[in-house]
Amino acid sequence: MIRILFLFIVFFSIELFGRSDVEAINLSLQSLQSEESLLDTAVLDNTLDRYRGTISPLYKRYQSTTDELERVKAKFADAGIPPFFALIPYAESKFNPSSHGYGTAGLWQFTKQSARNFGLSVTKKNDERLNIDRSTEAAIRYIKYLKNEFGNWYLADFAYAMGEGTLRRMIQKNGSDKMSVLLKDPHFPSGAKAHFAKTLLLDAKIHYSKKDEEIRGE
């Protein structure tokens, strides 16, 4: 019975994403230190499927912002952080440095307090959340802090999207920090789920997709 279920998940995943897409997603998951692959958890499969339709416009935005993204990626590479994280602004702000949300601003959608906690000036005359370089440097400090706090990269991303306290409570409640367990929790914030799914799908397409590498001539 278990073997039949596994084969069904394998078939469903390949049909849903295409064989090369499954490989690309798994490589992205590996870069985040996940011990689970796409085929290990149906909940991740379903989560990604829900947001696949959002990737085309985000990818078009990526194609029009490659110069700016290279500046961001270079900083993350120097800091030893997976390239996945350089793509967070597409999920958070559609890579718009002037973006404003509910109490948040900039590429990384920092709140005023979080921005100040990680070294940015936020005043009426000078809001460094809107500065690509300064805000990216603050994001790097924050993401490295989260990695140290939670121990691996995918948990650092979950914490970035939902907040440290929310993630700690969720891990404690479930008695596990496995991706599949946390994503099954009905109280996993929908915004954090969208953030993770969009960034993962975009990372797989940009950095690990064979088709995309062929288009870029790699």
Average pLDDT over residues 123-139: 96
> Mean pLDDT of all residues in the chain?
89
pLDDT band (50, 70, 90) for residue 16: very low
Instruction: Strands of the chain (E only): list them.
Output: 104-105, 110-111
Q: What is the predicted pLDDT for the residue at 30?
A: 96
C-alpha separations of 7 from 3, 10, 30, 89, 161 in Å: 6, 5, 22, 36, 33
Q: What is the predicted pLDDT for the residue at 215?
A: 42
H or E element: which one contains 4?
helix 2-17
Q: How far apart are CA 182 and CA 64, in angstroms?
A: 34
pLDDT band (50, 70, 90) for residue 137: very high
Q: Of 116, 148, 147, 152, which is closest to residue 134 (Cα–Cα)? A: 116
Q: What is the predicted pLDDT for the residue at 1?
A: 52
